[in-house]
Amino acid sequence: MLATTMRELRELIAPPSPETFANPNIDSIELTYGVILFEHIQLHSDLYRVLLRSERSVIESLMAFAIEEFKTNFGPLTQSDIPAGIIANHLVSSTFALVRWWLDQDMPYSPETMGEYHLRLIVKPMRDMIINKIMKE
């Protein structure tokens, strides 16, 4: 079960392709992604609570995977004054912190609401930085 759940999470935390940003429906795509992520975490909440509290190596491995995926897909598109590694670390760490908070608070908001918060707090600022870089070129 752990291996399957971790494989599913790896698929969920892998960033979308840069081409996704050109899609006019990007907000609904990213919101759907966030909702799916939080639905998955809600479905396996007991496991994630344990992992976030005790298995640092598993979480660190997932975070390292997500950071490398971001740097590979978006590194060339990020602002030159902020290294891609810093942006990736912020995006991934912020997402894990939001998940941890949600679980620690006994999931007081629906996955839909958390998907919206994730979009507004974490994804949109990162996306805006990448879009601004693309538009300047």
Q: What are phi and psi of 22, to 5 degrees?
A: -80, -10
Say what the pLDDT of residue 18 is: 60
pLDDT for position 97: 93
pLDDT tens string, the chain, 137 residues long: the values are: 656 766 776 666 655 666 665 555 666 667 688 888 899 999 999 988 988 887 567 778 878 887 887 777 777 666 567 777 888 888 889 998 999 999 999 999 999 999 999 989 988 887 777 665 555 55
- The Cβ of residue 28 has, within 10 Å, a number of other Cβ atoms equal to 11
pLDDT of residue 114: 97
pLDDT on residue 22: 53
| Non-local CB neighbours of 1 within 8 Å, separated by 6+ positions | 47
Q: Which two tokens stand for residue 97?
A: 């912190």
Instruction: Give the per-residue pLDDT at 48.
Output: 86
Among 4, 33, 13, residue whose Cα is nearest residue 93: 13
Which of 39, 59, 64, 67 minimizes the C-alpha distance to 126?
A: 67
Kindly report, residue by residue over 49-72, the tens digit of the pLDDT. 988 887 567 778 878 887 887 777
Distance, CA of 112 to CA of 81 (rounded, Å) = 34
Q: Global pTM?
A: 0.76
The tokens for 130 are 């990448």
